[in-house]
Amino acid sequence: MVKVYSLLNNKGGVTKTTTTVNLAYGLAREGRRVLVIDTDAQSNSTYSLLGDLDREPTLFEVLISGTKMADAIIPTNQENLFLIPGSINLSAADLLMASAAGRERKLARALAPVKDEFDYVLIDTPPNLGVLTVNAFIACTDVIIPIALTTYALIGISILESTMQELRENLDVELPVFGVVANLDDHTRLSADVLAAVREHFGDLVFNTVIPRNIKVEEAHNQIACLYDYAPNSTGAQAYTKLVKEVLQRAEGN
Ligand code: ADP
Ligand code: MG
């Protein structure tokens, strides 16, 4: 059964995109077929995977013009890793989809005919709770919450959690949390305190692997490189490698 994970946190800069991309590379390198769907108008995961923001069709055409998802899937340089690109046009989605019937389920409907071609679908989301984020909630089987171990990491989380609860009640979705990824660990007292608070709040949902702040992670993104090739011995690559193992264990039990 395909796992569809939405990476959700209504704040920006909390490593949603970085975690999407590095999990995607990692799972693809473990032989799983992976599709990344970029629902963010800033399209950072599209840039990181392709280095090109001009490819069409994108998710915008799928959601707004009725292009088939199958026609928008493009391969990346990594074997087994495919992408539905994002586009700056997605910034108008809230407005354009405001009166569309079934607007919350457009992504789920578009994905349905192709999702079984993949083992994992990872949906990167924008830093707000607009229509695209709601579509990501509805289209996924589970939620992954990336959290930056910086000040006030938990403040936005209560909004995310109450939104999830409201969607569960109103739209008849289960929305289980698959896992919480703690990231940007600075090895400071502050990071340790925030990590303790995150573990206290989410318990065993927090992955054991904590991702350190490591410049190689950011460099790989900016150089449109795969972190595991770009800096295989970096603390960032090693941590993400462990995280991928934990994800596989949790998802597949092996
Ligand atoms: P979001 O998608 O939630 O807005 P990003 O994934 O874009 O967050 O991450 C925010 C910034 O932090 C980016 O510049 C990214 O390159 C950087 N970053 C993410 N993870 C790490 C890390 N482990 N070490 C250093 N920089 C990181
Ligand atoms: Mg992002």
Express as a percent the part of the chain with pLDDT over 70.
100
211 touches ligand 1 (CB under 6 Å): yes
Element (H, E) at 235: helix 235-252
Longest Cα–Cα distance of the chain, Å, equals 50
Instruction: Say whether 229 sits in a helix, a strand or coil.
Output: helix
**Domain span including residue 26:** 3-252
Ligand 2 centre to CA of 185 (Å) is 18
Per-residue pLDDT averaged across 61-89, rounded? 97
Q: What is the CATH number of the domain that holds 82?
A: 3.40.50.300
Q: What is the pLDDT of residues 211-231, one digit of tens each?
A: 999 999 999 999 999 999 999
User: How many CA atoms are closer than 13 Å to the CA of 34, on its beta-carbon side?
Assistant: 27
- Encoded tokens for 82: 């495919």
Q: Confirm if 6 and 177 have CB atoms less than 8 A apart.
A: no
Bridging pattern class, strands 177-183 and 34-38:
unpaired
43 touches ligand 1 (CB under 6 Å): no
pLDDT band at 254 (very low <50, low <70, confident <90, very high): low
Per-residue pLDDT for 253 more than 90?
A: yes
Q: Confirm if 58 and 84 have CB atoms less than 8 A apart.
A: yes
Testing ligand 1's pocket by substitution, the residue of 18, 147, 184, 214 carrying the most ligand atoms inside 8 A of its CB is 18
Per-residue pLDDT for 163 more than 80?
A: yes
ipTM for this prediction: 0.99
How many structural domains is the chain composed of? 1
Interatomic CA distance for residues 160 and 8, integer angstroms: 8
pLDDT at 129: 87
Which ligand neighbours the alpha carbon of 240 most closely? 1
Ligand 2 centre to CA of 14 (Å) is 8
- Encoded tokens for 3: 């796992």
